[in-house]
């Protein structure tokens, strides 16, 4: 195989083509940048290849610092920044081939599709895989298309409060609050009826013991009975599918109780409504030693709540843009060329990165590491909770940790100001915490924005995990002093 030997531009020039910006570049950038850019840090490089630490430059002060990233950059970098194994596999792939048209195929696509079919849980095992080069929204749209094709007369997709499924024109509407704050008319409002999700810490039926991601032992799941009415005929048109994150990530780390998922499966199977799980955040060992949350329920609770279709993004591409959807092979329909393709949907680079990342996680047992480090952090947080009234609820598992900040543990009143201050203070103390998305009404009023996320790369060491807990307390103390 040939090595990279540039022909037109020197190796030196090419190796710094996207590195090292100066003040002038930054000023011009501010003028020209149209899409999101609101943080004052420029991410420069991994502290070391594969590290959860990153070197950043502060735009205002011009100073460099090293930060431990508990956001994995939109929860993507499960194996840290610039992972050497992934990068090696990708650079070898790049020597062979960098692009294949949508209808073509490549060894990377064949291997990736087969691997996902092998890893998928329950009724999805040996299923049919769709890949895209964009991410979660595109994977979910593919699932919705397939449910509309395969459903007899279904036209609508039932969605839940607090959900987030992406930012395309269709996914904005499928997601809970976003269309209330867009300056354009949402598409497809008639397609996505929305119902309340089970939210055990803030139960609409006033059960009080729904803590740490578990439902109140006394609860009779009235919330499901409400949704059941929609499943069995209350929507304005027939449902093709129900779309849900089995553990809502962006909306505030809110799990659907496994018993709820069991009931949902039973009714949906009876009513011939497909279930689409969005495991974009919870998949790829983010929640611990299992590939998906659904697999955890299968192995630990002995229940099969696997859906008809499941969607992935984030870590599935090993840090490269990739989305995937797997459908049960019982759904016999496949897409026609006109129903689904994009120019770059069949990208061997991302597929190779995805394959390498899965192999590394399996071989190094990073899923187990995620489980252990998650337990370590959650245990410390629960100890802190005894001393700090403002720590409301702590929800895992694995390194999928969300902490609800409240005014006090009795009222559970959301403490959005504290959450915001903690994010800013974290940056000052060289740790990046993540926020939940704001919980809004359809008129754009923010009801809650109070959850801090700790979701570092799953490769973090025991020492990094201790550092995260120490910093969490330091940051909390400093923030409380500031806002009091
Ligand atoms: C749960 C969930 N679903 C879907 C998406 C959309 O993925 P993408 O931004 O890749 O379209 C996201 C992204 O944050 C997500 O967190």
Domain ranges for the chain, please list them: 88-364
Nearest to 202 by CA among 378, 400, 398, 406: 406
* Residues in contact with 29: Cβ distance below 8 Å, sequence separation at least 6, in sequence order: 21
Q: Is 313 in the pocket of ligand 1 (CB under 6 A)?
A: yes
Residue nearest to atom 14 of ligand 1 (CA): 166
Are 469 and 476 in contact, with CB atoms under 8 Å apart? no
Q: Respond yes or no on whether the N-terminal peptide bond of residue 478 is cis (omega within 30° of 0).
A: no
Residue nearest to atom 8 of ligand 1 (CA): 136
Percent of the chain with pLDDT over 70: 99
Cα 198 from chain centroid? 19
Q: Which atom of ligand 1 approaches the CA of 249 most closely?
A: 1
The pLDDT of residue 3 is 83
Q: Is 280 in the pocket of ligand 1 (CB under 6 A)?
A: yes
The pLDDT of residue 367 is 98
Q: Is 166 in the pocket of ligand 1 (CB under 6 A)?
A: yes
CA dihedral angle for residue 188, residue 192, residue 196, residue 197, rounded to 10 degrees: -110
Q: Is 136 in the pocket of ligand 1 (CB under 6 A)?
A: yes
Residue nearest to atom 4 of ligand 1 (CA): 165
* Residues in contact with 206: Cβ distance below 8 Å, sequence separation at least 6, in sequence order: none
Q: Is 278 in the pocket of ligand 1 (CB under 6 A)?
A: yes
Low-confidence spans in the chain with pLDDT less than 50: none
Q: Rounded to the nearest whole angstrom, what is the distance from the C-alpha of residue 311 to the centroid of ligand 1?
A: 10
Give the integer Cα–Cα distance in Å for 422 and 475. 6
Q: Rounded to the nearest whole angstrom, what is the distance from the C-alpha of residue 369 to the centroid of ligand 1?
A: 24
The pLDDT of residue 38 is 66
393 beta partners: 404
Q: Is 245 in the pocket of ligand 1 (CB under 6 A)?
A: yes
DSSP 8-state secondary structure symbol assigned to residue 60:
T
* Residues in contact with 125: Cβ distance below 8 Å, sequence separation at least 6, in sequence order: 117, 118
Instruction: Tell me which CATH code domain 88-364 carries.
Output: 3.40.640.10
* Residues in contact with 141: Cβ distance below 8 Å, sequence separation at least 6, in sequence order: 166, 168, 170, 171
pTM, full prediction: 0.97
Alpha carbon separation from 286 to 182, 198, 217, 396 (Å, rounded):
30, 22, 27, 10
Give the integer Cα–Cα distance in Å for 344 and 448. 38
Residue nearest to atom 7 of ligand 1 (CA): 136
Q: Is 135 in the pocket of ligand 1 (CB under 6 A)?
A: yes
Instruction: Determine the straight-line distance between the first and last CA of the chain, rounded to whole angstroms.
Output: 63
Query: Tokens for 149?
Result: 């094709």
Give the integer Cα–Cα distance in Å for 311 and 139. 6
Are 273 and 241 in contact, with CB atoms under 8 Å apart? yes
Q: Respond yes or no on whether the N-terminal peptide bond of residue 295 is cis (omega within 30° of 0).
A: no
The pLDDT of residue 412 is 97
43 beta partners: 56
Query: Tokens for 172?
Result: 């904005």
Alpha carbon separation from 398 to 123, 145, 318 (Å, rounded):
24, 32, 18
Q: Rounded to the nearest whole angstrom, what is the distance from the C-alpha of residue 9 to the centroid of ligand 1?
A: 38
Q: Rounded to the nearest whole angstrom, what is the distance from the C-alpha of residue 62 to the centroid of ligand 1?
A: 32
Give the integer Cα–Cα distance in Å for 47 and 68. 10
Give the integer Cα–Cα distance in Å for 476 and 418. 8
């Amino acid at each position: 195989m040939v090595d990279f030997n540039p022909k037109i531009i020197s190796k030196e020039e090419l190796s710094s083509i996207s590195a090292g910006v100066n003040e002038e570049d930054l000023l011009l950038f501010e003028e020209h940048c149209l899409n999101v850019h609101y943080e004052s840090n420029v991410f420069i490089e991994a502290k070391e290849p594969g590290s959860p630490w990153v070197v950043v430059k502060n735009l205002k002060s011009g100073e460099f610092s090293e930060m431990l990233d508990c956001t994995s950059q939109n929860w993507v970098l499960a194996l840290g920044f610039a992972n050497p194994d992934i990068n090696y596999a990708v650079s070898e792939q790049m020597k062979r081939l960098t692009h294949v048209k949508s209808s073509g195929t490549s060894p990377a696509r064949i291997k990736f599709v087969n691997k996902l079919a092998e890893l998928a849980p329950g009724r999805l095992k040996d299923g049919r895989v769709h890949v895209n080069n964009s991410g979660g929204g595109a994977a979910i749209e593919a699932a919705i298309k397939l449910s509309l094709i395969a459903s007899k007369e279904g036209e609508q997709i039932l969605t839940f409060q607090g959900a987030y499924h992406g930012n395309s024109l269709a996914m904005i509407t499928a997601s809970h609050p976003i269309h209330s704050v867009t300056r354009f008319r949402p598409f497809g409002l008639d397609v996505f009826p929305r119902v309340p999700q089970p939210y055990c810490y803030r139960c609409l039926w006033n059960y009080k013991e729904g803590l740490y991601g578990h439902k109140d032992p006394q609860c009779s799941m009235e919330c499901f009975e409400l949704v059941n009415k929609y499943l069995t005929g209350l929507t304005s048109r027939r449902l093709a599918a129900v779309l849900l994150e089995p553990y809502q990530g962006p909306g505030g780390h809110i799990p659907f109780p496994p018993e709820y998922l069991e009931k949902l499966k039973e009714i949906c199977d009876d009513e011939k409504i497909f279930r689409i799980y969005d495991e974009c955040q919870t998949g790829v060992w983010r929640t611990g030693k299992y590939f998906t949350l659904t697999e955890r329920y299968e192995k630990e609770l002995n229940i099969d709540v696997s859906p008809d279709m499941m969607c992935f993004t984030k870590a599935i591409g090993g840090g490269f843009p990739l989305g995937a959807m797997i459908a049960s092979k019982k759904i016999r329909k496949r897409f026609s060329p006109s129903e689904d393709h994009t120019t770059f949907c069949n990208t061997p680079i991302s597929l190779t990165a995805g394959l390498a990342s899965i192999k590394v996680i399996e071989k190094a047992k990073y899923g187990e590491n995620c489980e252990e480090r998650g337990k370590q952090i959650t245990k410390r947080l629960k100890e802190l909770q005894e001393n700090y009234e403002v720590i409301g609820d702590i929800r895992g598992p694995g390194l999928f940790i969300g902490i609800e900040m409240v005014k006090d543990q009795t009222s559970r009143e959301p403490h959005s100001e504290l959450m915001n201050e903690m994010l800013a203070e974290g940056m000052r103390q060289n740790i990046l915490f993540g926020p939940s998305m704001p919980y809004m009404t359809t008129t754009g009023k923010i009801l809650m924005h109070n959850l801090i996320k700790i979701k570092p790369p799953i490769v973090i060491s025991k020492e990094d995990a201790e550092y995260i807990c120490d910093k969490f307390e330091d940051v909390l103390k400093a923030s409380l002093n500031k806002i009091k």
